[in-house]
A and B are shown apart, each in its own frame.
Chain A
Amino acid sequence: MTVTDEKSQVRRKAMAVLADSDTAEIAGRLAGIAMPAHENLREPENGLVMVRGRIGGDGAPFNLGEATVSRAAVRLATGEVGFGYALGRDRKKAQVSALCDALIQASDHADAVENQVLAPLRATVLSQRKRKAAETAATRVDFYTMVRGEG
């Protein structure tokens, strides 16, 4: 894996956590970090994406229906460009996610963002998933066979 790929993977994973997190949670944790100078490269905006499925679940793609998406892009004074994309119409979520994406690319801020923002958000997302999985598992059917007589 090249360095760029590794970096992209880190960013992708961070974006996945941010997309699953609450805007207020992200913003609240981000507020605890000394924010470097930055500017909006793309003002936060709402739009649509066409969600695609696959015929039979694994075949040729088809258009299922659209979803609302918010997106933004920021640039730090040091040059790093961050992007924020999230389902829904919450421009602020796109904005704070873009800031996080820019900061994790800046070596001076990457650790702080990981430790103070992403790690706690990831823990929340994982615990929510775990709870849902456990609630789901409790509805799994245990079949048993009625045995007549002795052997």
Chain B
Amino acid sequence: MYVAVKGGERAIENAHRLLAHERRGDRDVPELSLDQISEQLSLGVDRVMTEGSLYDRELAALAIKQARGDLIEAIFLVRAFRATLPRFGATEPVDTGKMQVRRRISSTFKDIPGGQILGPTFDYTHRLLDPQLAEGGAPELPAQSEAPSATILRVIDILGRDGLIESSPPADDDKPVGDLTREALSFPADRDLRLQNLARADEGFLLALGYSSQRGYGRNHPFAGEIRLGEVEVEFMAEDVGFAVPLGSITLTECQMVTQFKGSAAQAPCFTRGYGLAFGQSERKTMSMALVDRTLRARELGEEVLAPAQDEEFVMSHSDNVQATGFVEHLKLPHYVDFQSELGLLRKLRKEFTEAAEAPAPLQEAAE
């Protein structure tokens, strides 16, 4: 059957015009500025930067405004934008050990050098809606106390000194760093590619997978060895300048999960690690990422792969919410021709079914 594929231009144009109107909302209410979004909805901005895989607060704020607060739509917009700019190269790996820390906690040791620093956290709030916020007004200025000048050591290094925890896999200068924005995914995937995939993965997807691993779908009995938030300097080896150029600082959240490992013939029992790193203040994301990073090491550590969270092909193929959205939402695009053929097939099958039902008994049995 012939199906017209033309038409609809005016409807589309008017739909977008209506969308812009709805986006603006009540015109008597002041319009949101990008600064307001960036400053006051900052964790939404952080999520869009992390999963949009592009550190640029202003662009993420614009995307949130344009997407009417739909963060996955905003992430989609940011991903599309990054394709419009040339890439100058890769930065030197950031040193989170030199972070200007604004939050740093550990659930493994009470007394850690540098202390438990709560920073700006929802933890220990009562999760009661605050009617004062509805009225607005300036909050109290933050308290201050004398800050130690020393860099805050990694908690993980305390365990590392006694050999109780595995060390990080060392850099191999001969091996290029995997980049899934340049090459299609193939399996098995190395840990660098897995971490890149997890870093841009949907927070909800990772949260559910991490949660499933805690509940017994995959072995994970983790502790939050350390979570830290703060500013890290970024440097870029600019060939034209001749040395690594400081580009400024970015905000990062890092999570080190510590998990029991019973050892193998070749290795004494020790703690193993899962790692999470994300742009901005993204604590739930990095904790989930670290859990899933650890479960995905099942093959490497000789653990049986039984649960979804341990299956790298399952995790990495379904973690990207832009891809997932594309495939799920394409279902609403015209499938008129496909549907017509399915409809034709179904009519034929139903006709056969009816004919079989109306036929004499022995034949009916044969048809079954």
Contact = CB atoms under 8 A, between A and B. Distances in A.
Given A48-B88, A60-B171, A19 B55 contact: no
A84 B177 CA distance: 27
Interface string A65-97: 111110101000000000101111100000000
Contacts of B147: 130, 133-134, 136-137
Interface in A35-88: 46-69, 71, 73, 83, 85-88
Contact of B88 (A19, A49, A137): A49
Contacts of B58: 88-89
B192 interface: yes
A56 B191 CA distance: 11
A3 interface: no
Contact of B238 (A16, A56, A85, A86): A85
Q: Which of the listed residues A8, A57, A66, A73 has the most CB atoms from chain B within 10 Å of its own CB? A: A57
A76 B271 CA distance: 57
Contact of A143 (B111, B144, B245): B111
A20 interface: yes
Interface residues of A, number: 53
Interface residues of B, number: 85
A137 B91 contact: no
B177 A61 contact: yes
Nearest to B192: A62
Contact of A49 (B90, B95, B195, B254): B90
B236 A69 contact: yes
Contacts of B146: 134, 137
A61 B95 CA distance: 11
Contacts of B90: 49-52, 63
A89 B279 CA distance: 18
A49 B192 contact: no
B14 interface: no
6 contacts: A48-B88, A61-B171, A62-B177, A64-B199, A66-B53, A138-B142
Interface of A: 8, 11-12, 15-16, 19-20, 46-69, 71, 73, 83, 85-89, 129-141, 143
Closest 3 CB pairs of A and B: A59-B168, A56-B168, A19-B248
Interface of B: 49-50, 53-56, 58-59, 82, 85-97, 100-103, 110-111, 115-120, 142-148, 154, 156, 167-172, 175, 177-181, 191-193, 195-196, 199-200, 233-234, 236, 238, 240-250, 252, 254, 256, 273, 275, 277-279
